[in-house]
């Protein structure tokens, strides 16, 4: 029987190691999709992550795009994982260019936290208390 070669899948995975349900948004360098007035960054959300589970939020080679990624998470009990990078987002599912977001598209500001993935092609981030 021939051996099948498995294709490696590069991705950014976010796991919920927190005791409550969490919702996650990300931002990443994306000049092909969001160049020019889009300010080269794309924002996406919301992924719903049960306690003890993981979600794939980006399914391509990470390091080839950029070593710096940004994320924000909020738990059902009010806990947040936030940072200083202010982004306008929708309360509904979204996929927007950073520079094109208007108050008609979005509901509130959140603060993204920077994630340095180094030279990794894939990366798993676990949200913990």
- pLDDT tens-digit series, residues 111-126: 999 999 998 888 999 9
- Structural domain span for residue 52: 12-122
Domain count, the chain: 1
Task: Give 9's pLDDT tier (boundaries 50, 70, 90).
Answer: low
User: What length is written for the chain?
Assistant: 129
Task: Give 101's pLDDT tier (boundaries 50, 70, 90).
Answer: confident
In-domain check, residue 25: yes
In-domain check, residue 7: no
In-domain check, residue 86: yes
In-domain check, residue 127: no
pLDDT of 4 above 80: no
Q: Is the peptide bond before 46 cis (omega within 30 degrees of 0)?
A: yes
Number of Cβ within a 10 Å radius of residue 125: 21
Residues contacting residue 54 through CB under 8 Å, at least 6 positions apart: 13, 14, 15, 16, 124
Alpha-carbon distance of 12 to 53, in angstroms, equals: 14
In-domain check, residue 2: no
Least confident range of 57-66, 80-89, 113-122: 57-66
In-domain check, residue 129: no
Tokens of 110: 């959140």
In-domain check, residue 81: yes
Q: Which residue has the higher pLDDT, 30 or 105?
A: 30
């Amino acid at each position: 029987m021939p051996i099948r070669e498995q294709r490696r899948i590069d991705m950014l995975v976010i796991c919920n190691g927190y005791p409550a349900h969490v919702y996650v948004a990300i931002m990443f360098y994306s000049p092909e999709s969001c160049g020019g007035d889009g300010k080269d960054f794309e924002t996406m959300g919301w992924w719903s992550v049960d306690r003890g589970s993981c979600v794939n939020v980006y399914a391509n080679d990470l390091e080839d795009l950029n070593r710096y990624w940004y994320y924000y998470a909020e738990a059902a009990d009010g806990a947040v994982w936030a940072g200083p990078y202010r982004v306008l987002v929708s309360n509904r599912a979204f996929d927007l260019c950073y520079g094109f977001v208007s108050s008609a598209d979005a509901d509130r500001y959140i603060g993204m936290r920077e994630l340095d993935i180094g030279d990794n092609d894939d990366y798993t981030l676990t949200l913990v208390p």
